Structure 1
């Protein structure tokens, strides 16, 4: 207890303590005096009463240790589209705040991380949904039944919680229920900021340790279409993590988190961490050779076209869906192999990717044949206008969006059950079923009853 009280005193200069210092609702007086501005002190002291959970997280964060307070992140200029004085403590002052904190704020201290993030596939998450008429109609018309009051609930409670939303404000400068709150990775904020750092570093602790563990990715990368956490658990990497991951070291500095701190990689290790000569990156696409979420996989080539650029130009477009390494897929693969050889031999690494690549190419042969059948049926008017009631379309959709993704991701992440039984086995069943429907419609010139 003495050690805990000393920590609080050193961190905050607290004048009064309660028996349970971890629960700020029991603290009658919280006085902060450690180099913060007067406004910063006032925010902390007030929110210790109003939102003690936020302050509990903040006081254990790196921000708290170095004197970055609420006002430093939540204050905005008077002319900001998010500016408000909704907080009682600042009404009538020259201080304006927003409950929203966009990457434009984070980049004041973390410019490299924000820039790298903006070049990644994550940054496109919200804009890509808005760019696809099929996704909008699926969420609002088909799932939401085009109900005037209820049609936005599928996206608000589902898709945007991972992809993010284009956040809108009401007349009171507070975000609308249809667009916030969410932890979506690709949020677009009213000030033009794109992204969401707290998707991985949850507020208000913003922990590097938390972001390095598989759970940080698992809340979005799961389920029938991209079961990455299930795939990870099926792999030997996941087996080792689940056996002993709670004992590993997660708080090493960036570019210093190396094998020895862990025995097997987590998601962050392979896709983001600095290992050997590699530098830490917040572009999670940078080390990827293939685009494995598309109907037909292509290698990732070319430069960056950021979501921020699209948004600032007033466009909501698909943009560069293959965003990743501007030097091309070969460099991307070389960087990923550098991660692997920190634990494995070169032969092991080369052989693994050799066969994984062949599995992606095998999938492409199925998808190419299936798409030809769908395209021909569509051209000849042999598809239902309501595609979600068309058996042929649903088979095609599941072939690439569910089984096909599992087949490809399972192979590239070393998960045999997903590469095979949940993957290629289901894909070969899909195309056989689709071919029967295709041949019947082409022969009869009619859509079956």
Structure 2
């Protein structure tokens, strides 16, 4: 009898549960405790009046939906180098905050993403510029004209907005005008952390959909030296995106954003997304075979080195560091990128495309950069490059050969932008190398800089 009663009760409960799946109308009490703290509510209420744009973004964010508020990200310990009580809402309390939200805060919830980011080229963006004497001299001496009244403006309004800078603190531990605000992806903070998640997931919505669209990348990846957004628009991928991309689905969960949500890849699809059996990664360099930004393109081999660790130990970016890439080298990197392509293309299509694109990179290396570098080194050894290189025609043509036309040639080839691989690329290079040879032969013959 007891057994029959228990079976009957179990069957009734199963029927009741089945009837209520997706229907909570019969549930009397349904509460999820994710309430904000008193201080958290106080921050939101104050900022709703003072900075309503921030609060409106936060209200639409996933953070807002789960009760993560201002104080959860902006509160720091009293002994933090960034700690301040400059905000009236915390003044005189035991709460300390910082305007700066660093990767150390983000990694409390997103440790894998922060680790992957630090292994990428993005993680080195600020360190490289800060540690290169040539870049510092270009920004402050040549571009900044050593003007004491405008010191730092060339860097603050330009380079650091993409690369990032070492943030310095002034009165009340608040960041200085020379170093903040910025959107630099490789920002270096007083707490020793490096990176800027908000470069792609902008404050205070931190949208995954926004970061998946080409606009997230085109703030920095555009212009004469690396026109990646323009190259994308020139490609068939960009053609399809510009025709219908506003209708695609961008908010699928990580590792679930697949063809069908979109008809052509965006930057994030190829460089970051979990597609097929690939996992989502924040190491944007992981699937890259070549370092296309450098004067000469080398294979991304030799393993990874953590630029943040080097910065802390040596106080500089070591020239010996291998370029960021796949931990197993360039072959593994290309294999992963081919898996991305295979979601939409045949194996033959993918193999043929990369075969010719790789040859275009080798053409740049062997027929343009290497001869130009050889001539430059010989002239310099003989004192035939001007002390002020930006008055020297050979130096200017050489610089543009690799930094502008050469990058366009290589990046256009690997991202299927024919106008950039050709007219803005190799066509310009064949003129550059002829101009360099003409100047080189004249100087070697006369022993003079005209």
Per the TM superposition, whether the score is higher than 0.5 is yes
Counting only pairs closer than 5 Å after superposition, residues 40-55 of structure 1 correspond to structure 2 as 40-55=40-55
Output the CA distance in 1 between the equivalents of 2:95 and 2:186. Answer: 28
- Which blocks of at least 5 consecutive residues in structure 1 are unaligned? 1-32
Contact 1:291–1:300, Cα closer than 8 Å, also in 2: yes
Secondary structure of 1:89's aligned partner: coil
In the alignment, is residue 283 of structure 1 matched against residue 277 of structure 2? Answer: no
1:233 is displaced (CA, Å) by: 0.1
The residue aligned with 2:266 is 266
Shift of 1:49: 0.5
Q: How do 1:154-169 and structure 2 match up within 5 A?
A: 154-169=154-169
| Structure-to-structure mapping, 1:176-215, within 5 angstroms | 176-215=176-215
Deviation at 1:303, TM superposition (A): 2.0
Q: CA RMSD in A?
A: 1.0
Q: Does 1:347 align with 2:318?
A: no
Once structures 1 and 2 are overlaid, which stretch shifts more, 130-139 or 53-62? 130-139
What does the per-residue CA deviation read over 1:171-225, in whole Å, with 9 as the maximum and x for residues that have no partner? 3211010000000000001011100000000000000000000000000000000
Q: Distance in 2 between matches of 1:75 and 1:313?
A: 28
Cross-structure match for 1:5: none
Partner deviation per Cα, 1:286-329 (whole Å, 9 max, x = no partner): 00000001111000012221222023224221453511111000
Paired position in structure 2 for 1:308: 308
Q: 2 CA distance for matches of 1:303 and 1:290?
A: 13
Any idea what the Cα deviations from partners look like across 1:129-184, whole Å, max 9, x if unmatched? Answer: 01111111110001100111213100000000000010000032110100000000
Q: CA 1:175 to 1:321, structure 2 compared with 1: closer, same or farther past 3 Å?
A: farther
Runs of 4 or more, structure 1, over 3 Å off, are none
CA separation of 1:49/1:34 partners in 2, compared to 1, >3 Å: closer, same or farther? farther
Aligned pair count reads 416
Following the alignment from structure 2 to structure 1, what is the Cα–Cα distance between the partners of residues 191 and 444? Answer: 53
Q: Is residue 98 of structure 2 the alignment partner of residue 103 of structure 1? A: no
Once the two structures are overlaid, the 10-residue window that deviates more, 253-262 or 312-321, is 312-321
Distance in 2, matches of 1:251 and 1:412, equals: 28
Can you list the C-alpha shifts for 1:421-441, whole angstroms capped at 9, x where unaligned? Answer: 000000110000000000000
Give the match for residue 425 of structure 1: 427
Give the whole-Å Cα distance in 1 for the aligned partners of 2:436 and 2:265: 39
Alignment of 1:127-146 (within 5 A): 127-146=127-146
Please list, as runs of the form range in 1=range in 2, the aligned pairs for 1:23-62 lying within 5 A after superposition.
35-62=35-62
Asked if structure 2 preserves the Cα contact closer than 8 Å seen for 1:377 and 1:438, the reply is yes
TM-score by length of 2: 0.91
Give the corresponding residue for 2:296: 296
Mapped partners of 2:147, 2:310: distance in 1: 31
Which SS does the other structure have where 1:116 is aligned? Answer: helix
Output one character per residue of 1:220-260: Cα deviation in whole Å (capped at 9) or x when no partner.
00000000000000000000000000000000000000000
Match of 1:392 in 2: 394
| Conservation of the 8 A alpha-carbon contact between 2:104 and 2:193 | yes
Give the structure with higher Rg (CA): 2
TM-score (norm 1): 0.92
